[in-house]
Structure 1
């Protein structure tokens, strides 16, 4: 045996056995976090992919790994590389390697081991570490809580199980694992990234998902330092699209790898118009009096929608105009297409069946308002046409405006329009003296297509 081969086969890079483990699988134990005064006061997190050695403004945050795994595989492959950087922050959550329900059990166990090993390793280097807890179905309960001492502070995220993107079908999965975690670990505190469910018990430290995003940091994190570029590689291939992804849009971790399917939000009755009986037409009256007529296809999903308005831009839309509705996307949400205008008069809007049925939906005041910036961006990206009021003035945003791009303008004032490539660019529009990003969750939305 050569010296090189001997050194490799006995190295910790291969063996990973330097930390004592407990239980059948000898998963490494992360030492209990020792809280200090103020650790959990107005707590914010920072994604690992946004940390760097030059950062001086966010060192009071804790580092999280609620990100796609490829963004932090480096901490497993080369654990020494980030010690200096991570040690500068208030604390570090152990890396949240995914536990998707569809994963092979051996992979789920491997990811639990990697989570705990990295946490134990960082703790051995003097970094303050809080275990991140994740789980699959009940079959993972025999190992997914190993390596965490009873009474520890732990961290979880409700994002993948919550109502974002109209998904609610993974809450039952989350609560089953959460309650089992309470029983087995009896945590002292639970850091919850994203809004906790009302049913969640325990001493919960809520961390605001939106305020922890890079949009609310004090410097432009999009310019990543060279040392961090490796976190964007899989098999040596650069993923250039990462520069434009929302850093705080978590899309991984637990639950189903495919995500939940779209369903109408019960708090937004206007969503109900997209589903119905085959051949049915639903008539929706928006807060500003606009009327939308939505026609169901043979499968009971909307296939065409007529807007009896020109959205305060007669040069962009005829009154009425139609939109084809597409459902061809992974989570099967409705996507209104570009407007179909009728300068010479619109054809009759009728259903395909012999039995005509018209149901009416009157949209309650305030139910179309945006609760988060992410909700607004999702709406725009899905093809929305929006009208809102702010300080007595009316503004419109249309997904397919000038040159087929996002267009925002004061009502009936084409000279005020701004043509945007992205929803983020639209959020920089000045609504009077206010930037749209700063007020989008405060404006009154009077009409909204999706």
Structure 2
């Protein structure tokens, strides 16, 4: 029997999904602490031994090393800066700084400690002045990090000349024409930068074969899995992943020409997208969940005060597992609060450019057919959390968004989404299709 091993090398745990390479059947799901203190290859080898597989049968993604810290520099807050911002998020990057309009602030840019700068600006054939001014500013600042140019293609040669002293690469414009978002080439270039400068550059492993095994950042793999699931099932998909430090929301929506015409944005529409809420996490950012719940009027100040000792305990011990019914109930409440708030933020969009600027990127989620939960707590308690998530998201009519009208709710209990994204990049397609069928099995109306 041929087999396939999908690995997700995280900062805390390395997770493995062992699959039959012919049928796609899930043989086992394993997890081991990530061996960052020595070499991530140690944990990978442990999982290879436990599953009886070898590197030739393995595919991997990773979020170890803290992820890709990305600074975005663009011409206009609501146009090219937003287009570059969307491209960065879709590639699994953590956006740590946005500079739009005037010359970037050297102090603020340096303080953000980016691993990479994404420089965008101007439509193809349009004005070249501002994007080249930004290139000059970056040349003066000399951050000693790679710069990816994804702006006006006519200005690319001059931008490369100005940044000759830095690591420079160019790809297709993220905004070739007003209203046309072209995130794919920048997303692919950012993915490669993650592998070169985060996985390789931070020396997480001395084993070249293990470094070569990692094909993409974990968030990129999950988004690719969400996109594959949506195509395979013919349904819009919304995924909420509540982790220990952040809550990520992924959506894959069917392009709607009427909606795009009525609500078109000059920065283009991202029909498949991801947002990251860095203040919402079940352990590291437990306080952030409660404080955001107060802001959203989902919790009052008195309850927040009562919960502070329990929140302190979770923050101080991020690896702690709830050991009583009351503690598990609190974790469930925090998870569902994080999910509701994160979906609200995902659907409301982002405010690019500071106070007073309009919000862009709002999403109509009403046509969502599948709502999936992911994250350690959800996977450990799938039956309980599915019902709670349905109430938190489907019945949320007070958050200023258009929530799913009639979505089926389930938990990705075997953590299949990341594997679907990995396998869609070249492994046997029947395996990723089987995973999609298994994930949707029993969830869709009869005949779909």
TM-score range, shorter chain: under 0.3
**Higher helix fraction: Structure 1 or Structure 2?**
2
Greater relative contact order structure (CA < 8 Å, 6+ sep)? 2
**TM-score, normalization by structure 2:** 0.27
